[in-house]
Amino acid sequence: MRITVFGATGGVGQEVVRQAVAAGHEVTAVVRDPARLPVPLSDVQVHTVARVDDPEALREAVAGRDAVLSALGSHGRKADGVAERLTGAVLAAMEAEGVRRLLVVSAAPVGPRPADDPLPDRLARKMIGAILKEVYADLTRMEAVLARSTVDWTSVRPPKLTNGPLTGKYRTAVGSTPRSGRTISRADVAHAMLALVDDPASVKQGVGVAY
């Protein structure tokens, strides 16, 4: 499969690149600094850009791809519309090139809360939501941009991310959030994204992932 990865030097993005290469996929990594890629440059096609918010600069990277996987987003509490703006540019490039499949990283609080979540989980979710209010607002707007697009998108919504190992053992919930799902490793989020590429039930859906 021919895959393009945005945010390829971030925590989840690096795992997507590493696992996709290991699985034998043809990977294009869109980066500003190729030196930060987690695999030898000989194993990936590198598309270096100065700005990811320029759709014209991204068209070559997505042209002819079977799927685009994006881990773009804020690295702190100040989102400044990063996810919405950069994902919008990726979408514009994909629509211009007629590329259909897109998977992005969002966050569990953006999706619906399980009705039977225990009280401690509800309280923790409310507290974290207050701290990361701007980030979640940005991701909510990003998902609204996805919903208005013509592509076959999937928004993968993890809870707290860890640097734990790849296990391949986690729960998924299409259109919902796994009950009491508190953490998941970046490696397993990447695994879930790659697994969902060919899953028709996840198209135009948010998918909660958690242990």
DSSP, collapsed to helix, strand or coil, labels residue 187 as helix
Residue with tokens 């809360």: 113
| CA distance to 7, 91, 99, 104, 119, per residue, from 153 (Å) | 17, 10, 11, 8, 32
Of the candidates 91, 111, 86, 100, which has an alpha carbon nearest to the alpha carbon of residue 178?
111
CA R_g for the chain: 16
Residue 81 is predicted with a pLDDT of 78
The whole-angstrom separation of Cα 162 and Cα 178 is 17
- How many C-beta atoms lie closer than 10 Å to residue 138's C-beta? 25
Run means of pLDDT, 10 residues per run, the chain, 211 residues? 97 97 97 90 93 95 98 75 94 98 96 74 67 85 97 97 98 94 96 98 98 97
The whole-angstrom separation of Cα 114 and Cα 36 is 38
Residue 195 is predicted with a pLDDT of 98
State pTM to two decimals: 0.92
Residue 209 is predicted with a pLDDT of 98
CATH of 2-210, one of 3.40.50.1820, 3.90.700.10, 3.40.50.720, 1.10.150.130: 3.40.50.720
Is 27:14 a contact under the CB 8 Å cutoff?
Answer: no
List the chain domain ranges.
2-210
